Amino acid sequence: MLLSSLDQTIVSTAMPTIVGDLGGVAHMTWVTTAYLLATTIAMPIYGKFGDIFGRRNLFLIAIALFTLASLGAALSTNFWEFVVFRGIQGLGGGGLMILSQAIIADIVPARERGKYLAPMGAVFGVSSIGGPLLGGLFTDHLSWEWCFWINIPVGVIAFAIAWKTLSLPRKHNTSRVDYLGIVLLSAATTCLILFTDWGGKQYEWTSPTILGLMAAFVAAVIAFIVVENRAEQPVIPLALFRNRAFVLATTIGLVLGLAMFSALAFMPTFLQMASGTSASVSGLLMIPMIVGLIGTLTVSMRHITKTGRYKIFPILGAVVTALGMLWMTTLAGNTPIWLICAMLFVLGAGLGFIMQVIVLVVQNAVDPHDVGTATSTNNYFREVGASLGVAIFGSIFTSRLVEGLGSAFAANPAQAATSGLDPASLVPAQVKAVGEPLHTAIVDSYASALAPVFWYLIPAVLVALVLAFWLPEIPLSDEAGMIARGEAVADESALAGLAPVSVTDESDPVLAVPSPGSDGDRPTDGRHAAR
């Protein structure tokens, strides 16, 4: 989980050096687009294939893909070779993110799952800070290749441990795989990601390219729905969308992605300009947000594990998040850094109450046979929300910023001329060095562009609040996913914390299934008994 989410952000501070060395300045957005696109496409595929084929081998494949692609990226000699390996990395990263959550659902009952989901959720927050910081440190003191070299020993160790100790059953699928659905979903995802990534940046929103991508996305979605209605084994079963808890939790996740990633995308830029620090150092100013997120995430998951009640937390989280965003609409150029950090703490605290609760709700609400598909679909829509949020609100922020900087430079023509600054290519060090009143005017322009964005995000969070009130509170299951599906039961050594292995299929170790008359016939705990 950490490796997968870290590699979404680790190249952000290293990107100028990477594209400069490899000769890809004009196409630098592909460094992040390739990884994001591959990860988003891979999520539902790993989720579905894990449900019908088993997760062990897929998990090993994902680790291997990620590790080998990291090696390829580090050794790349030209830009497009590097982009290809970033895409392959994304294919592995999507599997790491989804399968790790689904495997926990396989082996841990929903009632006890909170203690595992809390640190997994904290990973997202830590990586948003650690990624840019590590990328900057590696680039400044070693070389940008170390952003990828670091993955290799960790990947090798993870592969070895999973190979030796991960005991999950391999399934034999007899149904026709929904390959056409996979192709159509991949096409729709590609169009959406490119639409959000290119719109307002490389192309105008009204350009034929952007409008064509939007039309292709709509056509692919319609075709996908038609195919899924007829598929024997749909990649995303439409029956999931008749499950009230799944629909509400997934929609809340989409809104969460939209709000969280929009804030994470633009706050560091403002902090850099306001404080005059580098990208890696300004990332440290986001730590209060992560502290708030991890704190409430831990508290909520402990409470859920203890009581089995979860409905209050999405409601509380939406209220706190909305209040945090309301506070952030007061941002100004002269707002003290400590006060901005306090705002970020409140925002993070609200998000922490929601983040992993909705994953738990989704996994608990669906049939155990669909837990991987449901987990991946929930994550998929969160990524879609993030992409839409960054695109839409990024466009609002950028247009207001361009207008504000134009006014700032026009109001100080003499100083603007002597400083030699270009409004289109400002860097924090330049802004910090320029004298008054232009410095204050520039910082005010960033604040005036950013603060209204939160006004647009608040209604989305209020929608999540309404949905949270309607979220049903289903009793948390006391059975792990594999037990509920009748695939295996834990024996005495499993209860003792060991990794029991027996063989039902010679090529794949599974949790031991006791034979009649053995000690395993005697269940030691109802939670571990097969149905």
pLDDT, tens digit (0-9, with 9 covering 90-100), for 285-302: 778 888 888 889 888 888
Residues in contact with 516: Cβ distance below 8 Å, sequence separation at least 6, in sequence order: none
Token readout for 176 is 């026709």
User: Per-residue pLDDT averaged across 150-156, rounded?
Assistant: 85
Higher pLDDT residue, 382 or 425?
A: 382
Above 70 in pLDDT, residue 488?
Answer: no
- Cα–Cα dist 283/306, whole Å: 35
- Cα–Cα dist 404/401, whole Å: 5
pLDDT at 491: 46
pLDDT band at 530 (very low <50, low <70, confident <90, very high): very low
Judge contact between 527 and 519, C-beta under 8 A.
Answer: no
pLDDT band at 497 (very low <50, low <70, confident <90, very high): very low
DSSP output for 246-274: HHHHHHHHHHHHHHHHHHHHHHHHHHHHH
Superfamily of domain 1-166: MFS general substrate transporter like domains (1.20.1250.20)
- Cα–Cα dist 405/417, whole Å: 14
- Cα–Cα dist 401/383, whole Å: 26
Range scoring the smallest mean pLDDT among 180-194, 255-269, 461-475, 483-497 = 483-497
Judge contact between 210 and 198, C-beta under 8 A.
Answer: yes
Cα–chain-centroid distance for residue 257?
8
pLDDT tens digit sequence for 17-69: 776 777 766 566 677 778 888 888 888 888 888 888 888 888 999 999 999 99
Cα–chain-centroid distance for residue 351?
13
Judge contact between 394 and 374, C-beta under 8 A.
Answer: no
Cα–chain-centroid distance for residue 17?
25
273 CB burial (10 A radius; 0-12, 13-18, 19+): buried
191 CB burial (10 A radius; 0-12, 13-18, 19+): buried
**Beta partners for residue 502, in sequence order:** 510
DSSP letter for 199, please: B
Delimiting residues of CATH 1.20.1250.20 domain(s) in the chain: 1-166, 237-482
Q: At what angle do helices 287-307 and 312-328 cross, to 10 degrees?
A: 160
Token readout for 326 is 């309301």
Above 60 in pLDDT, residue 526?
Answer: no
Residues in contact with 522: Cβ distance below 8 Å, sequence separation at least 6, in sequence order: none
The CA-based dihedral angle spanning residues 302, 303, 309, 310, taken in that order and rounded to the nearest 10 degrees = -70
Cα–chain-centroid distance for residue 86?
16
Judge contact between 350 and 393, C-beta under 8 A.
Answer: no
pLDDT at 351: 86
Handedness of CA 449, 31, 133, 349 (dihedral sign): positive
In SS3 terms, 498-520 reads as CCCCEEEECCEEECCCCCCCCHH
Higher pLDDT residue, 459 or 263?
A: 459
- Cα–Cα dist 525/490, whole Å: 10
pLDDT band at 280 (very low <50, low <70, confident <90, very high): low
% of the chain at pLDDT higher than 90: 8
Residues in contact with 359: Cβ distance below 8 Å, sequence separation at least 6, in sequence order: 101, 117, 121, 253, 375, 378, 379
pLDDT at 528: 37
Phi, psi angles (nearest 5°) of residue 172: -115, 105
Residue 447: C-alpha distances to residues 274, 282, 286, 335 (Å):
9, 16, 16, 9
pLDDT band at 222 (very low <50, low <70, confident <90, very high): very high
DSSP letter for 203, please: B
Q: Which fold has domain 237-482?
A: Growth Hormone; Chain: A; (1.20.1250)
pLDDT tens digit sequence for 424-463: 555 556 666 666 777 777 777 777 777 778 888 888 889 8
Above 60 in pLDDT, residue 177?
Answer: yes
pTM for this predicted structure: 0.77
DSSP letter for 127, please: H
DSSP letter for 367, please: -
Q: Which of 341, 361, 351, 365 is nearest to 316 (CA)?
A: 351
pLDDT at 531: 34
- Cα–Cα dist 325/470, whole Å: 23
- Of 110-114, 317-321, 353-357, 386-390, the range with the highest mean pLDDT is 317-321
One-letter amino acid at 100 equals: S
Phi-psi region of 458 (alpha: psi -120 to 50; beta: other; left: phi over 0): alpha
Above 80 in pLDDT, residue 139?
Answer: no
Judge contact between 143 and 75, C-beta under 8 A.
Answer: no
pLDDT band at 218 (very low <50, low <70, confident <90, very high): very high
